[in-house]
Structures are given as structure tokens and as C-alpha cells.
Amino acid sequence: MARYFTIFLTFARACLVRDMTFRANFILECLTSLGWMSMNLAFYLLVFTFTSEIGKGTGWSKEPFFAFVATGLIINSVVQAFFMPSAEELTEMVRTGGLDAVLVQPLDAQFLLSMHRVDFSALANGAVGVGLLAWAMSRMDYTPPAVAWLLYPLLLLCGVAILYGLVIMLAAATILMGRNQSLYDFWFYLTNFSRYPAEIYSGPWGGPLRMICTFVIPILLVVNVPARVIAQPFTGESWGSVAAAVIAAVVALVVSRVVFQRALSRYRSASS
């Protein structure tokens, strides 16, 4: 484990050196990333000029909702920084046969394929997320108990783990299918469901959708559970959702690992 951590640090250092070599490009990437995020925040601010909360009686008024958004920013920035850049390269590696070089390395293939590239510019959104969280929490009437603050980092990790599992499953699909640009788009569209509080998914269509996105593909647990723990009153029922998030994270990691290994065993080299 220590060996893998050292190798990961070496990868990260190399990526940081590369980013700092093209410093202007790095700053530009940070700015564009922040631009998209600011635009979304502007949209939410606009929405709150027409309503006091998202969903009647849900408790997602302006400040709690921005704490929710901040939580999403932090989780997504970690995934975008540490896992997505590597996963995005996989499609081309499978198509061109570049995956062969990875498979002959004396290291775990999943580790190498999912963590060899780090995009530090993606962490800019996470930094803003932390600032936004601090702003939202300081303006809220409600003060979360100490246990909520203790659980919050753990639940952030659970959210990252669930998304990581999803990335690995899509990577496995890439290996099996050879080319699946649409499946990475699918990742983007699927994570879109996690951007809003689960309460908005109600009614004859929303109810089943909420069930699917909670129990089948637990995308709604990613941001909702940690955000709810600090931005909504912490009650006995909160423990149920905490347990669900932890279980979902473990299951996502285990299942994705099994699926990925099976996909690798069926891989046929495209190179000569």
C-alpha cells in the first residue's frame, strides 16, 4: 500500500511539474473551470430571485442549497482531478493497443489506469466549494452538531468512492466495447442527477427515478447525504442515510473492482 502511495505521489509530482511548465495554460484552465462554475452559481442566484426554496417544505432555502452546491463542487473536483483524466485516456488506449504497455507493468492495472494522471486545475472548483460552504454555513440559522462535522469528511469520501466506482465501471465498458465515447457522456449526464436535492424528484415519474438513483445507481447519495448532514437538522433518521452512503461506497468499490477485472480478462490487444 505504501508503495502504491509513493508511486501515486510520483505521478502527481510529474503532473504538477508538467502543469507548472505550461503555467499560463494551467491558469487558463483554472479560470475556465471557475467560469463554468460561476455561471451555474449565477443561474442558482437567478432562480432564488423567484422562489425562497427549492421544493415546498424541503428546507432547501438559499443558504442550505448553496451548502449543497458547495458539497457537490468539492466531491466533483476531487473526482475530476484524480480519476477522470486517466479514465478519459482509456478509450484511446484500448483502441490503439496502448493498454498493452500498462498490463505488462508490475503494478495493479486498475491503479495505473485510473490514477496515473492528475489534473490539478480541477481542484480550483473544490477550493471555491470550500469557500462557498463557509459562506453558506456562516449565514445559516442552523448550527450543525459536532457529530455532523465529524461525519461530513467521511461522507465526502463516500461520495468520491461512489463516483470512482462509476468511473471504473464505465472504463470496464470501454475495454469490452472498444469505443464508447457516448458512455463517458453518459457519466456526465448521470452525475447531472446528483446536482440537485433528492426531494425535487417526486411525483409519478420522479418517485421511481429517485428510487433508481438511490438504490440501483446510488448517484443521489453522493452529494445529498453529506450536504443533508450539515445543512439540514441532524436527527435519528440521518443515521440511516449515513449508513446507506457508507454501504453504497463499499459496494461501488467492490463491484467496480470485480467488473473491471473481468473486463481486463476479456481484453484483446489491438496492437501487432
Residues that bind other proteins in the complex, under the rule CB under 8 A: 25, 28, 32, 35-36, 39, 42-43, 46-47, 49-56, 58, 179-182, 185-186, 189-190, 192-193, 195-196, 199-203, 206, 209
DSSP 182-243: HHHHHHHHHHHGGGS-GGGS-HHHHHHHHHIIIIIS-HHHHHHHHHHHHHS---TTHHHHHH
In whole angstroms, the minimum distance from the beta carbon of 188 to other proteins comes to: 9
Nearer Cβ to other proteins (5/205): 205
Nearer Cβ to other proteins (181/235): 181
Q: How far is CA 185 from the centre of its chain?
A: 14
In whole angstroms, the minimum distance from the beta carbon of 151 to other proteins comes to: 26
Q: How far is CA 12 from the centre of its chain?
A: 19
Nearer Cβ to other proteins (29/89): 29
DSSP 9-44: HHHHHHHHHHHHHTHHHHHHHHHHHHHHHHHHHHHH
In whole angstroms, the minimum distance from the beta carbon of 219 to other proteins comes to: 11
Burial 40-78 (b: 16+ CB within 10 A, else e): ebeeeeeebeeeebbbeebbbbbbbbbbbbbbbbbbbbb
Q: Which residue has the cell 428546507?
A: 59
Nearer Cβ to other proteins (28/150): 28
Nearer Cβ to other proteins (131/206): 206
Other Cβ atoms within 10 Å of 266 Cβ, number:
9
Other Cβ atoms within 10 Å of 240 Cβ, number:
11
In whole angstroms, the minimum distance from the beta carbon of 186 to other proteins comes to: 6
In whole angstroms, the minimum distance from the beta carbon of 217 to other proteins comes to: 12
In whole angstroms, the minimum distance from the beta carbon of 58 to other proteins comes to: 7
In whole angstroms, the minimum distance from the beta carbon of 22 to other proteins comes to: 11
Nearer Cβ to other proteins (151/198): 198
Nearer Cβ to other proteins (35/131): 35
What percent of the chain is helix, strand and coil (3-state, nearest 5)?
A: 80, 0, 20
The answer to whether the beta carbons of residues 137 and 67 sit under 8 Å apart is yes
